[in-house]
């Protein structure tokens, strides 16, 4: 008979113990020493009336005797002495969690040795780790947390002249009446108070001595925070060290503040982030003077380490529905000395050859505004159409705050398109399209390459007019959003969600250039469904494209190792003939699969295997394979 492993039994006992009034938290046996005199094996147990699993976990973190990286004690006397030293750590941890009347004790119990399994033992009888030949012990910490104390009276005291500073209320600092009196909340409130003063220009603000009074009769904690605001200061001279060939006038515009502006350390941190995001520097360090200068201002110095201005790079990938592909680019980050970026890029895969040249001029006419000009060439061949086009575009991109970017511009595109579907009998058309694209991007992700929290929303609207045909005018819009929710930190587990909606207004589908219509299916859309095959098809099973689009994805990302992670995903959606998606007209297609992620400095290397749900044998393969760089979304 195969028995459950000891680790599984411990987990079950842990869960069952949490359902009762007394919580008992065992920990693994202490490690036997690898060198020196032999030590004794033991395990640590937390138990007590009213001890919750969450509190026990916090208490266990402070126990030195529960650390697996320390050598085992030589005998039981030393072990018990170590346990007694942990008692004060437990008392401090209880007070930090709001339990000011808690009691703790420790005792040492000897456990009976369990004999090693004999030669006839069944699989599963052996232990998960070898037992040393000496007795083992259990170090038991008895914890009685007692009642939870809460915040009572709270106040902020200003020391010396206020210089116009009005402190926030204790509640706004996180010290709310009746809430558990956690030490971390007091410290966080104190730090927030100091940040508030300095952001209001009080550069030399300093904390006074905090006062915490515990009333055991009422079980309330009185807190008084003290602050010396000091006078309001302005920014003084701003210096740049190590800028090299980069024009200092560009750097001054980039940092978004100037001498004479009211001092705010948040603006300095934001300026450092903007200098890093320019791509011109490998390292940026901001140094704020600790004392005002002779003029009574606060000088700031940025220490810069420039990157090499030129770089060449590329990437390759394989999608089983489109074959191998790749891209190659050259970039110059400081073309004229003012942070101007020139990027030349070429892409190629089965059915697609494209190239582009883009020039970006930062801080154009005003801070936080870029001018972007580009030229593009594309030759695309698919089951739906053949398209050869050239385009010229110019746009203004402007930052609004730290998360939102808006853009608007003009684009002129000439395209020769052969619609290969039976519906249009292989019609050849030439378009000269003048369009006015407008975009808004909100990016609240914590990491653009491998996000774990936050959201990103993209809205793009583009009005088209065919200059050769006054009747051909339409509006193409698409809204997409990605959302990332961290489910747990260890192992890192993230739930990633994606959704997209699109529509084209103004003309019938057959009058829309085939390469402008909406298509769904493929590695960047619905994995498991072949490229462009989620949507209306003609009698020869060629995609027709649509006037509207619905897409969605759910992906569970698990990263148990530093470099290696795994995902499970479900994608779904379709293109639709109608201007508004009609599920009665077209049944959405779904694909599901598993993937592996390997972390690299520029984002995860991705391998996904997906298969269609309810396979259409006329167009679907049993499975699709995707290999590329970066998360799917």
If residue 65 lies in a helix (H) or strand (E), which one and from where to where? Answer: none
Residue 81 tokens, joined: 């002495």
* Pairwise CA distance, residues 48 & 90, whole Å: 13
**Residue written as tokens 């005018």?**
473
* Pairwise CA distance, residues 517 & 545, whole Å: 5
Could you report the per-residue pLDDT of 115-126, keeping only the tens digit for each?
444 443 333 333
518: which DSSP letter? Answer: B
Average pLDDT score over the chain: 88
* Pairwise CA distance, residues 531 & 25, whole Å: 53
Q: Over pLDDT 90: what percentage of the chain?
A: 71
Kindly list the domain boundaries of the chain, sorted by start residue: 6-29+40-115+125-144, 150-228, 234-306, 310-629
Domains 150-228 and 234-306 share a fold: yes
* Pairwise CA distance, residues 354 & 411, whole Å: 17
- 281: exposed, middle or buried (Cβ count in 10 Å: 0-12, 13-18, 19+): buried
- On whether the CB atoms of residues 385 and 419 are closer than 8 A, the answer is yes
Does the domain made of 234-306 have the CATH classification 3.10.20.310?
A: yes
- On whether the CB atoms of residues 613 and 620 are closer than 8 A, the answer is no
Q: In CATH, what number does 310-629 get?
A: 2.40.160.50
Q: Over pLDDT 70: what percentage of the chain?
A: 89
**Residue written as tokens 């593009």?**
376
Q: What is the CA radius of gyration of the chain?
A: 32
Three-state SS for 442-508 is EECCCCCCCCCCEEEEEEEEEEEEECCCCCCEEEEEEEEEEEEEEEECCCEEEEEEEEEEEEEECCC
Mean pLDDT of 174-195: 95
Name the strands in the sheet holding 297-306, side by side, starting at the edge strand that comes first in the sequence. 234-241, 297-306, 281-288
- On whether the CB atoms of residues 522 and 531 are closer than 8 A, the answer is yes
Assign a CATH topology to domain 150-228. Answer: Ubiquitin-like (UB roll) (3.10.20)
Q: What is the pLDDT of residue 21?
A: 37
Helices 183-199/76-96 angle, 10° precision: 50
Could you report the per-residue pLDDT of 580-629, keeping only the tens digit for each?
998 888 899 999 999 999 998 878 899 999 999 999 988 899 999 999 98
CA torsion, points 115, 121, 123, 124, in degrees to nearest 10?
-30
Residue 142: which pLDDT band, with cuts at 50, 70 and 90? very high
- CA–chain centroid gap for 111, Å, is 47
Q: What is the pLDDT of residue 82?
A: 93
- On whether the CB atoms of residues 113 and 85 are closer than 8 A, the answer is no
Mean pLDDT of 41-64: 90
In the beta sheet, which residues pair with residue 603? none
504, pLDDT greater than 80:
yes
Residue (of 484, 481, 501, 499) closest to 440 by Cα position: 481
CA distance readout (Å), 370 to 136, 389, 445: 69, 26, 22
Q: Go through the chain and tell me how many residues it has.
A: 633
12, pLDDT greater than 90:
no
From the CB of residue 583, how many other CB atoms can be counted at a distance below 10 Å? Answer: 10
Residue (of 626, 629, 566, 627) closest to 603 by Cα position: 629
Residue 428: which pLDDT band, with cuts at 50, 70 and 90? confident
Q: What is the pLDDT of residue 28?
A: 44
Stated pTM of the model: 0.74
* Pairwise CA distance, residues 578 & 599, whole Å: 42
Longest dimension (CA), the chain: 95
Residue (of 330, 310, 304) closest to 247 by Cα position: 304
Mean pLDDT of 380-405: 93
Residue (of 430, 512, 429) closest to 476 by Cα position: 512
Q: What is the pLDDT of residue 424?
A: 59
Strands (E), 50-119: 103-111
Task: Give 284's contacts (C-beta < 8 A, 6+ positions apart).
Answer: 272, 275, 276, 302, 303, 304, 305
* Pairwise CA distance, residues 285 & 305, whole Å: 9
- DSSP helix, strand, coil percent of the chain (3-state; round to 5): 15, 45, 40
Strands (E), 168-210: 206-207
């Amino acid at each position: 008979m195969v028995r459950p492993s000891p680790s599984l039994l411990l987990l079950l006992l842990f869960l069952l113990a949490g359902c009762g009034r007394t919580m008992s938290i065992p920990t693994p046996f202490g490690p036997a020493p690898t060198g020196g005199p032999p030590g004794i094996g033991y395990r640590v147990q937390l138990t007590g009336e009213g001890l919750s699993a969450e509190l026990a976990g916090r208490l266990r973190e402070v126990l030195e005797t529960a650390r697996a990286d320390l050598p085992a004690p030589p005998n039981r006397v030393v072990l018990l002495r170590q346990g007694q030293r942990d008692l004060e750590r437990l008392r401090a941890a209880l007070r930090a969690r709001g339990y000011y009347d808690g009691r703790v004790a420790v005792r040492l119990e000897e456990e009976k040795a369990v004999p090693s399994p004999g030669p006839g033992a069944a699989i599963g009888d052996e232990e998960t780790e070898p037992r040393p030949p000496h007795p083992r012990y259990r170090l038991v910490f008895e914890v009685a947390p007692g009642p939870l104390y809460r915040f009572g009276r709270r106040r902020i005291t200003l020391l010396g002249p206020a210089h116009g500073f009005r402190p926030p209320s204790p509640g706004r600092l996180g010290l709310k009446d009746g809430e558990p009196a956690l030490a971390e909340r007091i410290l966080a409130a104190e730090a927030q108070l100091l940040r508030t003063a300095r952001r209001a220009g009080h550069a030399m603000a300093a904390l006074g001595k905090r006062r915490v009074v515990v009333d055991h009769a009422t079980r309330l904690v009185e807190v008084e925070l003290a602050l010396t605001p000091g006078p309001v200061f302005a920014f003084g001279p701003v210096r740049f060290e190590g800028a090299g060939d980069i024009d200092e006038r560009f750097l001054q515009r980039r940092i978004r503040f100037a001498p004479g502006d009211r001092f705010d350390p948040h603006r300095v941190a934001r300026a450092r982030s903007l200098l890093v995001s320019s791509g011109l520097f490998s390292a940026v360090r901001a140094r704020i003077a600790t004392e005002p200068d002779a003029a009574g201002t606060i000088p700031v110095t940025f220490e810069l380490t420039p990157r090499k201005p030129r770089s060449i790079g590329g990437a390759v990938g394989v999608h089983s529905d489109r074959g191998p592909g790749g891209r190659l680019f050259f970039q110059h980050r400081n073309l004229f000395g003012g942070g101007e970026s020139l990027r030349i890029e070429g892409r190629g895969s089965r059915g697609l050859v494209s190239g582009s040249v883009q020039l970006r001029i930062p801080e154009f006419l005003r801070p936080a505004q870029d001018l972007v000009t580009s030229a593009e060439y594309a030759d695309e061949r698919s089951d739906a159409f053949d398209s050869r086009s050239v385009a010229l575009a110019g746009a203004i991109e402007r930052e609004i705050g730290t998360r939102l970017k808006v853009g608007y511009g003009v684009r002129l595109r000439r395209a020769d398109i052969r619609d290969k579907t039976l519906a249009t009998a292989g019609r050849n058309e030439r378009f000269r399209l003048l369009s006015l694209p407008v975009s808004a991007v909100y990016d609240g992700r914590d990491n653009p390459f491998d996000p774990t929290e936050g959201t990103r929303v993209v809205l793009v609207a583009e009005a088209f007019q065919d200059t050769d045909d006054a009747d051909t005018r339409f509006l193409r819009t698409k809204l997409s959003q990605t959302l990332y929710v961290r489910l747990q930190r260890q192992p890192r587990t993230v739930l990633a969600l994606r959704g997209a909606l699109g529509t084209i207004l103004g003309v019938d589908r057959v009058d829309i250039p085939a390469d402008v219509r909406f298509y769904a299916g493929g590695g960047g859309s619905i994995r498991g469904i072949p490229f462009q095959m989620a949507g209306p098809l003609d009698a020869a099973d060629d995609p027709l494209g649509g006037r509207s689009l619905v897409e969605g994805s759910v992906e569970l990302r698990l990263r148990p190792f530093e470099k290696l992670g795994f995902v499970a995903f479900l994608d779904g959606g379709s293109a639709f003939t109608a201007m508004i998606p009609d599920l009665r007209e077209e049944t959405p297609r779904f694909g599901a699969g598993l993937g592996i992620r390997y972390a690299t400095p520029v984002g995860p290397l991705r391998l996904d295997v997906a298969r269609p749900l309810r396979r259409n044998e006329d167009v679907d393969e049993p499975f699709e394979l995707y290999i590329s760089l970066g998360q799917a979304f």
